[in-house]
Amino acid sequence: MMNNLYHMQRAMRAKRQEALKRGVMAVLDVGSYKISCLVLRFDETGMAYSTDRQVVLAGQSAFRVIGMGTTRSRGVRFGEIDTVQETERAIRTAVQTAQKMAHTRVDHVMVAFAGARPRSYGMAGETIVQDKTVQDDDVARALASCDLPDLGEGREVLHAQPVNFSLDHRTGLSDPRGQVGERLAVDMHLLSVEANAIEALLYCVKRCDLELAGLASSPYVAGVSSLVEDEQELGAACVDMGGGATGLSIFMKKHMIYADTVRMGGDHVTSDISQALQIPMTHAERIKTRFGGLVATGMDDREMIELQGNTGDWNYDRRHVSRAELIGVMRPRVEEILEEVRARFDSAGFDHLPSQRIVLTGGGSQVPGLDGLASRILGNQVRLGRPMRVQGLPQSACGPAFSTSVGLSLFAAYPQDEWWDFDIPAESYPARSLKRAVRWFRDNW
Amino acid sequence: MRPLGPAQRPSAPQHGASASSPRQKRDPAPSVMAYRFQRLCLTPVFRVFMRYGLPLIIIVGGSAAYLSNPRNMDQLTAQVEDLRRTIEARPEFRVTLLSVNGASPALADEIRGRLSLDFPLSSFDLDLPQIKVQIEEMPAVRNAQLRIAADGVLQLDIEERLPELIWQTRAAFLLIDGDGVVIDDLISRPMSQALPLIGGEGADLAAREALSLVRIAAPLADQLRGFVRVGERRWDVILSDGRKIMLPEENASFVLDRVIALDQAQDILSRDILSIDMRRPDRPTLRLSAGAKDNFDMLRGQLVVSGERQG
């Protein structure tokens, strides 16, 4: 299991490095409402494979968005691929549009998705430092000493990031290398998802003639792009309100320490509207985005929304609802989502964190009045977040709906160290050297 | 109440076509083939190939395939030839007239006859250097300048060799110029004015000297008959009645000048002599005719006798 995981992730890492060498990579956000693809061009210079987050946020000139394609998502429900063929078509559409705009061909793609029931685990491991100063292999051994928790049947590790190192009595080290000590302990955050979601995604990407260069959890990358630096440092939560799923991630000391998804989102609001007002989904979606809100005022009683129908019944087709009615339909569902988010935060122990800041992002966060409602439910340190600006991003992709895409491109350019990025400690190699030789060949050829 | 949306009020519900047959929306996704083709088109190698390689292959391959058929090749050559002829036959390149300057009419006729150009001609068909060589081969032509002037005139400027001497050989009378080049036969080319006559073997080689002698001998014009080259070395001046002045090899003109001076001073040529031998300029020798010799002997005898008497 362990080796298998290492293998797949290392293969993706190799592809990512190949893509960086080539200078062009695509990032693909497979969401339930839209699928968007950004084509990134990396500079040859300054593309240090940096692990230092300080550099990450300062130097964003290392890549540039040269192409963007967005299409309505098909075959994705709750952030998971539901119908493979449909999703494949949607991915093809997005990638083709982005390629056309970028005027280059992309072969490597990094994918983020929200669903597949992510589950967070904290892990701890420790080791004795071999010769006083902490070296790379000490870190690797410390990481390898972590016990993999029982993930359950058919689950796969998506992220496994060391978040904290302790050396003897000192803790809170982000990089212990070069420090002198005896006992090196590491805390890791591990995110597991359902394996079949990854399989479906792999299948789709392969069908589009693309190579998968990395996988990321959408709540995580949304947090990367929408939380500002001090929020990531001091601790904050990001709520990514998507179409089919609402992702939440908690950051502390610039590391994700918790991620989860609520399997509800904007699509449910739309379907509520559709059911309540008895209008088609597309029309409901349109009304939601144009007239939707969460806080009704007296003015809203007088604002009438025309409901267009296509049934042929004149009376039925020419109904009107007031905006207050629409708000009355939308609000309970949004409240439900936020309360569910609140429950997840509570179970994760978010209220024990020193900072209670919550950032709302994602397409669903654009509903007017959400900040007021969210501050009532989630606590009063709520703000609406939009993704940070990256070079070359079109104006149309600067909204909160694209925080996952932007975060994924940041993640592609400045990847977080993961478990498998450290060398496998020598003692865990298979004993027989022949096997090692075969393995070396398979890795390198 | 105020409607929020734009004021779009359909005048009548269109539940005819739209309701019964809702328009099938086209799938926005590209087909697999279209997607792959687009990716192929964006591949740099493919783009370079389409931009440079394919046109090159089409052009080279197409022309090779076309030309590999000999009939096509012939046709193409014929077409090119045709085009070439059309251009050459244009009036701008047409030569209609040969104009010979600086040649006597007889020579001009001869040149025309020799070139035998069939006007009108295209200037592309005229090989001017060849014509120039051909004309300059003619003995009567010293130098020829050939050019195609405006209005289709082939301008031929001739520097003609003018006959300056008549060279009498055993076979014929030949006209030669100052350089000794034989221009023509006197018979075939009757001259209007008399020319000095020279004779003897190798006389043509010394024509220049003969001409200077002719100039010097101008005072003797009424009795001068000609000059004879003797032994390809020196000149004899033949005067009327067979008298001759034998000139030396060197300084012939100077010596002739002396003889003329002598004649003017002492009328030596009007005396009864056969020849004046100046082959040794410091010792002129006269040959007297038989009668004169007798007279001379007689006179000298008297002198001798009287001398003897006195002695």
- A181-215 core/surface letters (b: 16 or more CB in 10 A; e: else): beebbbbbbbbbbbeebbebbeebbebbebbbbbb
**Structure confidence at residue A168 (pLDDT):** 86
Q: With contacts defined as CB-CB under 8 Å, which chain B residues touch A302?
A: 1-2
Tell me which residue range forms the domain holding A428: 1-118+194-227+389-445
Q: With contacts defined as CB-CB under 8 Å, which chain B residues touch A317?
A: 13
Give the number of C-alpha atoms closer than 13 A to the C-alpha of residue B285, restricted to the C-beta side. Answer: 8
- A245 and A312 part of one domain: yes
**Structure confidence at residue B9 (pLDDT):** 47
- A136 and A239 part of one domain: no
- A248 and A320 part of one domain: yes
User: Mean pLDDT, to the nearest integer, of A164-178?
Assistant: 84
Q: With contacts defined as CB-CB under 8 Å, which chain A residues touch B1?
A: 302, 304, 320
**Structure confidence at residue A47 (pLDDT):** 45
Residue A111 has pLDDT above 90, yes or no: yes
Check: CB of residue A61 under 8 Å from CB of residue A43.
Answer: yes
Q: How far is A96 from chain B (nearest CA, A)?
A: 7
A317 touches chain B (CB under 8 A): yes
More confident residue, B178 or A83: A83
- A70 and A141 part of one domain: no
Label residue A427 by pLDDT band (50, 70, 90).
low
Lowest mean pLDDT among A240-244, A271-275, B30-34, B110-114: B110-114
A307 touches chain B (CB under 8 A): no
Each residue of B181-208: pLDDT tens digit?
887 777 777 666 778 888 888 877 888 8
- A143 and A234 part of one domain: no
**Structure confidence at residue B111 (pLDDT):** 83
The CATH number linked to A304 is: 3.30.420.40
Nearest to A96 among B5, B15, B35 (CB): B35
User: How many Å apart are CA B274 and CA A355, to the nearest integer?
Assistant: 156
Nearest to A304 among B4, B18, B44 (CB): B4
Lowest mean pLDDT among A142-146, A164-168, A285-289: A142-146
**Structure confidence at residue A50 (pLDDT):** 47
End-to-end CA distance of chain A: 23
Of the CATH numbers 2.40.160, 1.25.40, 2.60.40, 3.40.50, which one belongs to the domain with range B165-302? 3.40.50
Contacts of A212 (CB under 8 A, 6+ apart): A12, A15, A108, A109, A110, A111, A201, A202, A205, A206
Label residue A48 by pLDDT band (50, 70, 90).
very low
A92–B4 CB contact, under 8 Å: no
**Structure confidence at residue B15 (pLDDT):** 45
Backbone angles phi, psi at A114, to 5 degrees: -95, -35
Place of tokens 């997840």: A344
Q: With contacts defined as CB-CB under 8 Å, which chain B residues touch A209?
A: 35-36, 39
Residue B155 has pLDDT above 90, yes or no: no
Label residue A139 by pLDDT band (50, 70, 90).
confident
B5 touches chain A (CB under 8 A): yes
User: How many Å apart are CA A156 and CA A12, to the nearest integer?
Assistant: 15
More confident residue, A260 or B142: A260
Q: With contacts defined as CB-CB under 8 Å, which chain A residues touch B3?
A: 304-306, 320
Nearest to B4 among A92, A303, A311 (CB): A303
Residue B81 has pLDDT above 90, yes or no: yes
Lowest mean pLDDT among A181-190, A418-427, B173-182, B209-218: A418-427
User: Mean pLDDT, to the nearest integer, of A252-275?
Assistant: 91
The rounded radius of gyration (Å) of the Cα atoms in chain B is: 49
Nearest to A92 among B5, B22, B29 (CB): B29
B13 touches chain A (CB under 8 A): yes
A291 touches chain B (CB under 8 A): yes
Look up residue A83 and give its amino acid.
T
A104 touches chain B (CB under 8 A): yes
**Structure confidence at residue A226 (pLDDT):** 92
- B234-239 long-range CB contacts below 8 Å, 24 or more apart? B234/B279, B235/B206, B235/B209, B235/B210, B236/B200, B237/B213, B239/B269
B30–A103 CB contact, under 8 Å: no
Q: Which residue of A has its CA nearest to B22?
A: A310
**Structure confidence at residue A5 (pLDDT):** 64
A304 touches chain B (CB under 8 A): yes
The CATH number linked to A170 is: 3.30.1490.110
**Structure confidence at residue A431 (pLDDT):** 53
Residue B116 has pLDDT above 50, yes or no: yes
Label residue A433 by pLDDT band (50, 70, 90).
low
Each residue of B38-79: pLDDT tens digit?
999 888 899 999 999 999 999 999 999 998 889 989 999 999
Question: Omega before B139 cis (within 30°)?
Answer: no
Q: Point out the domain boundary residue: A387, A414, A433.
A: A387
Residue B1 has pLDDT above 80, yes or no: no
Residue A432 has pLDDT above 80, yes or no: no
Nearest to A312 among B13, B27, B32 (CB): B13
Nearest to A291 among B4, B22, B27 (CB): B4
Nearest to A104 among B15, B32, B42 (CB): B42
Q: How far is B27 from chain A (nearest CA, A)?
A: 9
Of the CATH numbers 3.40.50.720, 3.40.50.2000, 3.10.20.310, 3.40.50.10470, which one belongs to the domain with range B91-160? 3.10.20.310
Q: How far is A93 from chain B (nearest CA, A)?
A: 5
Check: CB of residue A173 under 8 Å from CB of residue A179.
Answer: yes
State the alpha helices, DSSP H only, in A184-322. 195-207, 218-226, 229-234, 266-277, 281-291, 298-302, 314-317
Q: Which residue of B has its CA nearest to A103?
A: B42
A298 touches chain B (CB under 8 A): no
Residue A39 has pLDDT above 50, yes or no: yes
Tally of structural domains, chain A = 3
User: Mean pLDDT, to the nearest integer, of A308-321?
Assistant: 84
B27 touches chain A (CB under 8 A): yes
Residue B92 has pLDDT above 50, yes or no: yes
B100 in the Ramachandran plot: left (φ > 0), alpha (ψ -120 to 50) or beta? beta
B32–A302 CB contact, under 8 Å: no
B2–A302 CB contact, under 8 Å: yes
pTM of the model: 0.65
How many interchain CB pairs under 8 A, A with B? 65
- A399 and A320 part of one domain: no
More confident residue, A329 or A431: A329
Check: CB of residue B164 under 8 Å from CB of residue B177.
Answer: yes
B28–A71 CB contact, under 8 Å: yes
- A173 and A276 part of one domain: no
Contacts of A339 (CB under 8 A, 6+ apart): A377
A99–B5 CB contact, under 8 Å: no
Most confident region among A139-143, A374-378, B17-21, B143-147 by mean pLDDT = A374-378
Of B39, B43, B50, which to mutate for an interface test with A (greatest number of A Cβ within 10 Å)? B39
- A377 and A414 part of one domain: no
Of A24, A35, A96, A205, which to mutate for an interface test with B (greatest number of B Cβ within 10 Å)? A96
B205 in the Ramachandran plot: left (φ > 0), alpha (ψ -120 to 50) or beta? alpha
Nearest to B43 among A90, A105, A323 (CB): A105
- A322 and A252 part of one domain: yes
Label residue A162 by pLDDT band (50, 70, 90).
confident
Give the residue extent of every domain in chain B.
91-160, 165-302
Lowest mean pLDDT among A6-15, A376-385, B79-88: A6-15
Residue A390 has pLDDT above 70, yes or no: yes
B105 in the Ramachandran plot: left (φ > 0), alpha (ψ -120 to 50) or beta? alpha
**What 3-state DSSP class applies to B15?**
coil
Give the number of C-alpha atoms closer than 13 A to the C-alpha of residue B223, restricted to the C-beta side. Answer: 15
Each residue of A121-132: pLDDT tens digit?
988 888 888 888
Token pair in block for residue B118: 């069939």
End-to-end CA distance of chain B: 186
A314–B13 CB contact, under 8 Å: yes
**Structure confidence at residue B306 (pLDDT):** 53
Each residue of B25-37: pLDDT tens digit?
677 888 888 999 9
Tally of residues, chain A:
445
- A179 and A328 part of one domain: no
Percentage of chain B with pLDDT > 70?
A: 88
B2–A304 CB contact, under 8 Å: yes
Average pLDDT, chain A: 85
Q: With contacts defined as CB-CB under 8 Å, which chain A residues touch B37?
A: none
Each residue of A198-227: pLDDT tens digit?
888 889 999 888 988 888 999 999 999 999
Check: CB of residue A219 under 8 Å from CB of residue A240.
Answer: yes
Backbone angles phi, psi at A284, to 5 degrees: -60, -40
| C-alpha B223, offset from chain centre | 42
B42–A103 CB contact, under 8 Å: yes
More confident residue, A27 or B278: A27
**Structure confidence at residue B87 (pLDDT):** 87
A300 touches chain B (CB under 8 A): no
Nearest to A310 among B19, B34, B36 (CB): B19
Label residue A233 by pLDDT band (50, 70, 90).
confident
- A239 and A345 part of one domain: yes
Q: How far is B53 from chain A (nearest CA, A)?
A: 20
- A200 and A313 part of one domain: no
Q: With contacts defined as CB-CB under 8 Å, which chain B residues touch A92?
A: 29-30, 32, 35
